[in-house]
Every structure is written in C-alpha cells, then in structure tokens.
Amino acid sequence: MRPSILMPILIPMLIATVLAGCGERTPATPAVPESAAPESEATGRTEASMPRPPVSEPAPAADVGMLPAAGTITFAGFGPAAFGADEESVRMAWGKDMDGAPSEPGGCYVLAPAPRGEPPFRFGFMLESGKFSRIDVRIDAIPAPGGGKVGMSMNEIMRLYPGVEETPHKYTPGARTLRAKDPAGSAAALVFETGTDGVIVAWRIGMPPQVDYVESCG
C-alpha cells in the first residue's frame, strides 16, 4: 500500500494512542500518618518507642512536724502543761517522742523533740527539780507571745513589748538581753537574746530563776 494511502489511517491512530497515555498518572507516594514518628537513624526505633529520661520529682518540703502550733506557747506554759507541771504533763502536751533526762535526781535538764542531737537545742522544755520551768526557742518559725521571734531586730522587739528591760549580754560583748514581763502580772518573763548586730538569735519564756539562766542546761 502506498504511503499516501496509509497516512490518513495512521495519523488518527497515533493521536489516539498519545491521548490515552496522557490520561495515566503515576500513583502518589502514600503520606506518612501524622501519628507515626520518624525512626532514629542509629537504632531504627521510632521516637515514641525510645526511652525517655526520668522526670525529676520536686524536693520534699522541709519537715516542720516538730514545730508546735502558733499560740501554744504562752506566759502560762505550753498548752495544757503549765509552768510548774511535771515531766509527764509536758510529754502529754507535746504528744510526740522527746529525749532528755537529768544527770542527777532533781537536776536541770531539757526535753527536746527526738532525735534531739547536741545542745544548744533549736526547741526544748527545761525542767528542774522535776518541774517544768521554761521553753527555749532558736528558730524563726515559732513566734513568742506578742509576736517577737528570731530574726527580728532589737528595735522591733522594743516596739512590740513596751517597757522591755535592756541589759548587756553576760558572755557576748556587744550583744544584748531584752526582758519583758507578763502583761497579766504573773511572775513569768519573756527573754530575748541578740547577736552583736542587734538581731534576735534566741528567746525563752518561763518562770524565774530558770528563765534568767543564760547557760540553760543540758
């Protein structure tokens, strides 16, 4: 057959073949689900399956269970244990373990929350001749009756306790002792001690003569 005769036949066939090919599409690459995590190049594991570093827990708060409730200490004593009470009354008023005993019958000693460690104690009850006579405090978490506490300045104490008596400290040059009387008129007294900078470092409350012992007792 001559070319002139084939051309009208072949051209339409060629056009049809090209159009059919244009309608085909290469399948798209499947999308990776959003939830799928990429694999680690080093281990081949997904990030979701890889171990996580432990989450550090916050440090526990400091234990303040040994501290008495505000208002427990008064010019009369410690809660139901009045100055002059026996050791058992003090232990019952505290309600927790305490350590301390006289070195000799009737001697002066301090009951302190267990374990009490070495003196000077942060908080303790003094007894002498078997009788509860005073409370010692060397921490700022426990306020004295009237609001005075460790860490205050001498001037602040004088404002809180009008008529307080100021005297030089017996052993520390430059330090002061501040003594306030019971507003109700009892013989009990409240005594603050300052450092050389005039800041309160300790206070005690109780009955004379024990409340005025600078040395305390072990």
Higher pLDDT, residue 31 or 214: 214
In a domain, 86, yes or no: yes
In a domain, 5, yes or no: no
Digit-coded pLDDT (tens) for 177-208: 999 999 999 999 999 999 999 999 999 999 99
* Edge-to-edge order in the sheet of strand 131-137: 98-99, 109-113, 123-128, 131-137, 200-206, 189-194, 176-181, 165-168
In a domain, 78, yes or no: yes
In a domain, 128, yes or no: yes
Digit-coded pLDDT (tens) for 1-15: 444 444 444 444 544
Digit-coded pLDDT (tens) for 61-110: 334 345 566 568 999 999 999 999 999 999 999 988 889 999 888 899 99
Which CATH number does the domain housing residue 165 bear?
A: 2.60.460
In a domain, 191, yes or no: yes
Counting beta carbons within 10 angstroms of the beta carbon of residue 161, is it exposed (0 to 12), middle (13 to 18) or buried (19 or more)? buried
Range of the domain at 159: 73-212
Question: CA neighbours within 13 Å on the CB side: how many for 108?
Answer: 13
Statement: the pTM of the whole predicted model exceeds 0.75: no
pLDDT band at 158 (very low <50, low <70, confident <90, very high): very high
CA 95 vs. chain centroid, Å, equals 22
* Torsion, CA 138, CA 143, CA 145, CA 147, rounded to 10: 120
If one counts the domains in the chain, the total is 1
